[in-house]
Structure 1
Amino acid sequence: MSATVAWGDESIRHKGLARPMYLMCACIIDDVPAANQSMRTILPEHSKKLHWRDLTNRRKRQSIDFIQQIGPLSIVIAAEESSVHKDERARRKCLERLLPVLESYEISTLVLESRTLPQDQRDLEHLAQMRTRHLVRTIRMDHIRGSAEPCLWIPDQVLGAYGDTKTGKLDFSEFLRENVLDEIIAC
């Protein structure tokens, strides 16, 4: 793996599972320019970003096919039981599982899709707390608007495929089996 940046997103699944899950995914992409170009080609007309929930089943399959063609892709998925009132806690728990694994793969930065400024700030404060507790040492975290960076669309698509596979809606198990390095499930 030659990449030093991972691209991350989250998804919350409340339907089709025994318990609601908060999922976080980090994708390690070796060829970022090729990934950006590929993802832009499948962006629906008049859309600012590619979002799984907005796609038809046909477009979902097409999206995963494009992602498979990007080249070396490594995926780390973390999940935590969630509830309507505890999503931020579940996010912190996922980050606590995800960031040390990324650091073990020598990833220096996790880029997440920006939410609100206070939420982004809470992520950074949590990272600082993780450093104080010696859970991570050097990894950094950045936040970027989803419409500005097509590489952020990839973890959205991966989590969509993961969630649809887990709930039996669609089957992307072969893609997941070939690309997921670590799956850290706490629920």
Structure 2
Amino acid sequence: MIPPAGHPGLSAWSDESFQEKDSAGFYIIAAAIIEPPVRDAAREAMLAQRGRRATAKAHWTEMDHREKKRAARAVAELDGVHVVAVGSPVPFRKQERARSKCLTQLVTQLHAFGVECLFMEAREPQLNQRDIRTVQSARFGLPKGTAFRIEHVYGGAEPLLWVADVVAGACRAHQLGRGEYWAELVDVVVDFEVDTDC
């Protein structure tokens, strides 16, 4: 998929998934690029995926097979593109290093799509600061004067993060040999591999 031209100032919403396992481990960061005119519709589509969890966010790991298929199909029907970094290997206790490597490469890819702000689900304050430092460092690899920032938001408050959760979850399942969810998304995803050097 070719990055669209002439669409500066876009935002992306991201989520992650990982598997620590010696040389077979991997780290995934998925970022959903949703343009302003369709964001409200995308939020409504994600709110509809909560099912029985009407007061909580739609979360991939809590869905059964049928719900995962439905969620993947709903994401595939959204007017957006999803950029996915898949880093490996990820040995035990190396997930933060792998996250940093994936995030660094993701910034470059998102910049090519015209993204200027990346929203990530908030974690502990010190881990959020680590993400901020990674993005600040990654900006040095972008053209001089490039605007790119990161903001952390609470996952339950922003359904657009749930789009990325579905993409990351489907990618994880694909990495583990279950490709039926990923097959729903393949036409709206740009994925790339990252050497984590772990």
- Deviation by residue 1:11-42 (Cα, 9 ceiling, x = unmatched): 01247x96110111111113110010111112
The TM-score with structure 2 as length reference comes to 0.84
- Which secondary structure state, in structure 1, belongs to the residue aligned with residue 16 of structure 2? strand
Cα distance in 2, alignment partners of residues 91 and 20 from structure 1: 12
- Which residue of structure 1 aligns with residue 33 of structure 2? 28
Once the two structures are aligned, what percentage of the paired residues are identical?
29
Cα deviation, residue 166, structure 1: 2.5
1:54 aligns to what?
62
Do the aligned partners of 1:7 and 1:110 also contact (CA within 8 Å) in 2? yes
CA distance in 1, matches of 2:191, 2:130: 25
Aligned length: 183
Q: CA deviation at 1:88?
A: 1.0
User: Structure 2: how far apart are the matches of 1:98 and 1:128?
Assistant: 13
CA contact (8 A) 2:32 2:163 kept: yes
Contact (CA 8 Å) 2:28, 2:171: kept in 1 or not? no
Q: Tell me whether 1:110 sits opposite 2:118 in the alignment.
A: yes
1:5 to 5, 11, 33: 11
Is 1:90 equivalent to 2:98 in the alignment? Answer: yes
Q: C-alpha offsets along residues 46-72 of structure 1, whole Å, 9 cap, x if unaligned?
A: 4521111111001100111221222x2
Cα offset for 1:144? Answer: 0.4
5+ unaligned residues in a row in structure 1: which ranges? Answer: none
Shift of 1:82: 1.2
Superposed CA RMSD: 2.0
CA distance in 1, matches of 2:80, 2:63: 22
Rounded Cα–Cα distance in structure 2 between residues aligned with 1:7 and 1:170: 23
**Alignment TM-score, normalising by the size of structure 1:** 0.89
Give the match for residue 148 of structure 2: 139
